[in-house]
Amino acid sequence: MALMTGEAYIESIRKLNMQVYMFGKKVEDPVDDPILRPSLNSVRMTYDLAQKPEYQDLMTAVSGLTGERVNRFTHIHQSAEDLVKKVKMQRLLGQQTAACFQRCVGMDAFNAVYSTTYEIDKKHGTHYFENFRKFAAYVQENDLTVDGAMTDPKGDRSKAPHEQADPDLFLHIVERREDGIVVRGAKAHQTGVLNSHEVIVMPTQSMRAEDADYAVSFAVPTDTPGITMIIGRQSCDTRKREGGELDVGNSEFGGVEALTIFEDVFVPNERIFMCGEYEFAGMLVERFAGYHRQSYGGCKVGVGDVLIGAAAVAADYNGAAGASHIKDKLIEMTHLNETLYACGIACSAEGHPTESGNYLIDLLLANVCKQNVTRFPYEIARLAEDIAGGLVVTAPSEADLRDPKVGPYVEKYFRAAPGVSTEDRLRILRLIENLTLGTAAVGYRTESMHGAGSPQAQRIMIARQGNLPMKKRLAKQIAHIKD
Ligand code: SF4
Ligand code: FE
């Protein structure tokens, strides 16, 4: 079963015995919870589209591990073309869901762990690469969704992991046994963890010798004893419980994040990919972050396409589409969105093979991509709000629209362009609200800032990769300056 259907995916998640908490209560049935279900539907789309012949080229690839056709979200990139197709696939999914479809973190962890374990083994004579290849083949054969867990809570930012007042603020090894290790700690903001079958844990930053117990990477099933997930609140999340689908804006799809706690979780030897080789923590972080910064040049662009479309429809419905400043704002939004895409494609096309043979993006361009993502979606959202008008935040509820007494007032006073129903006008405004201020704003706005690393993390990489000495040499050569 190399490719799973969307329906089979949902049922496979239902079988997991995950410990999920929300609003102070255990969620007994996360699959059917109205607040959580839209996020599961987004991941489902990664399965549904892979079944369609017209998307086979983007959504699937032939595995270098098994020789079988697998979902691209489980693929180890074999070429720069694979990297380009990854970004195109993410744009497609952003367009189809207008939300975070979550499965990319596992794909990015896969490719970072693959090349890093190869290099650890070469230096230390360990067997992590073989461990990982077996795990990756298992994931591909069963078409599993994997969460990539990197971000530790980090406590006092001025202190190293071993210096923290509470040693658990970075996930670490608490016991080494014959048959494996026991770990404790937590990973924050875990995108899609409760919609995943497995979780790959990675260190969160470069480590020194004193932090060797924190330099740990492994994979375990998400329902392993000791793992607890606490769902993050999203703006307007409880609207999904109220039953008014119009008020939600995007009632079918969404994203989800959770604080994920590992309380003395046992990891068997064959699932360990790093265990104390602290000097490789930085390499793993840099590569994972690089891949995920590339990812944003696809997913955010796809969601941006929907937001630009929504703004244009709102302009039509308002009767304002002919105004020259509206046309110009839509051009500006498109320019910004396509600039992000250009960065995603460029860092992919400039990809190169690692020692292990899989392909890595150009790290400088991937960091430039993400740096732009920390800015442009905010400007695109600002322009969408500008075009939409104030009604985006003052419109009455669906219940008012349907009410026999006040509904006719809503109907009458919020009519605009001829031939457009008030309900459709409210629908498009609620979608803009959802993307810029509601549940989807987690993925489109704040995640654009902090996901895959906050802006300063990219600036450090840009400084490191920018090759200023070479540029100084160029200038001196042209100016006829001899050192
Ligand atoms: Fe994928 Fe984008 Fe969500 Fe990250 S934010 S998991 S790249 S959809
Ligand atoms: Fe992300």
Residues 367 and 394 grouped into a single domain? yes
Residues 124 and 270 grouped into a single domain? yes
Name residues of the chain where pLDDT drops below 50: none
Residues 149 and 18 grouped into a single domain? yes
Q: Read off φ and ψ for residue 465, nearest 5 degrees.
A: -95, -10
DSSP state of 169: G
Q: Could you identify the residue written with the tokens 């002919």? A: 322
- Let me know if 257 is a catalytic residue: yes
- Asked which of 228, 248, 278 is the last residue of a domain, the reply is 278
Q: How far apart are CA 79 and CA 67, in angstroms?
A: 15
Q: For ligand 1, say whether the CB of 444 is within 6 Å of any of its atoms.
A: no
Whether the CB-CB separation of 293 and 458 falls below 8 Å is answered with yes
Whether the CB-CB separation of 234 and 312 falls below 8 Å is answered with no
Q: How far apart are CA 187 and CA 154, in angstroms?
A: 9
- Let me know if 104 is a catalytic residue: yes
Structure tokens at 393: 């935040």
Q: Could you identify the residue written with the tokens 């419980």? A: 241
CATH classification of the domain holding 348? 1.20.140.10
Q: For ligand 1, say whether the CB of 64 is within 6 Å of any of its atoms.
A: no
- Rg from Cα positions in the chain: 23
Looking at the CA of 108, which ligand is closest? 1
Looking at the CA of 453, which ligand is closest? 2
pLDDT of residue 243: 87
pLDDT of residue 100: 97
The pick from 105, 291, 300, 435 for probing ligand 1's pocket by mutation, whose C-beta has the most ligand atoms within 8 angstroms, reads: 105
Residues 210 and 331 grouped into a single domain? no
Atom of ligand 1 nearest to the CA of 292: 7
CATH classification of the domain holding 107? 2.40.110.10
- C-alpha dist (Å) from residue 366 to 277, 339, 373, 452: 26, 13, 11, 11
Residues 328 and 384 grouped into a single domain? yes
Quick check: is 182 in a domain?
Answer: yes
- Let me know if 21 is a catalytic residue: no
Spatial CB neighbours of 364, under 8 Å, sequence gap ≥ 6: 347, 461, 462, 465, 466
- C-alpha dist (Å) from residue 98 to 89, 296, 351, 371, 428: 14, 13, 28, 21, 13
Residue 162 CB burial class (10 angstroms; 0-12, 13-18, ≥19): middle
Catalytic residue, candidates 191, 204, 436, 439: 191
Residue owning the nearest CA to atom 3 of ligand 1: 100
Residue owning the nearest CA to atom 1 of ligand 1: 104
Quick check: is 1 in a domain?
Answer: no
- Do the bridges between strand 227-231 and strand 20-22 make them parallel or antiparallel, or are there none, so unpaired? parallel
Q: For ligand 1, say whether the CB of 299 is within 6 Å of any of its atoms.
A: yes
pLDDT of residue 332: 98
pLDDT of residue 1: 58
Residues 54 and 130 grouped into a single domain? yes
- Let me know if 447 is a catalytic residue: yes
Q: Which runs of consecutive H residues, i.e. helices, occur in 227-279? A: 239-242, 245-248
Q: How many domains does the chain have?
A: 2
Residues 345 and 305 grouped into a single domain? yes
Residue owning the nearest CA to atom 8 of ligand 1: 100
Residue 376 CB burial class (10 angstroms; 0-12, 13-18, ≥19): buried
- Cα angle 353, 356, 357 (rounded to 5 degrees) comes to 40
Catalytic residue, candidates 46, 104, 145, 222: 104
Residues 303 and 261 grouped into a single domain? no
pLDDT of residue 292: 98
Q: For ligand 1, say whether the CB of 452 is within 6 Å of any of its atoms.
A: no
pLDDT of residue 483: 83
| Side-chain-facing half-sphere of 110: CA atoms under 13 Å | 29
pLDDT of residue 2: 86
pTM strictly above 0.85: yes
Atom of ligand 1 nearest to the CA of 447: 5
DSSP state of 204: S
Q: How far apart are CA 207 and CA 279, in angstroms?
A: 7
247 conformational bin, left if phi > 0, alpha if psi -120 to 50, beta if neither = alpha
- Nearby residues for ligand 2 (ion, Cβ within 5 Å): 451
Residues 53 and 181 grouped into a single domain? yes
Q: For ligand 1, say whether the CB of 191 is within 6 Å of any of its atoms.
A: yes
The whole domain housing 63 covers 6-278
Quick check: is 425 in a domain?
Answer: yes
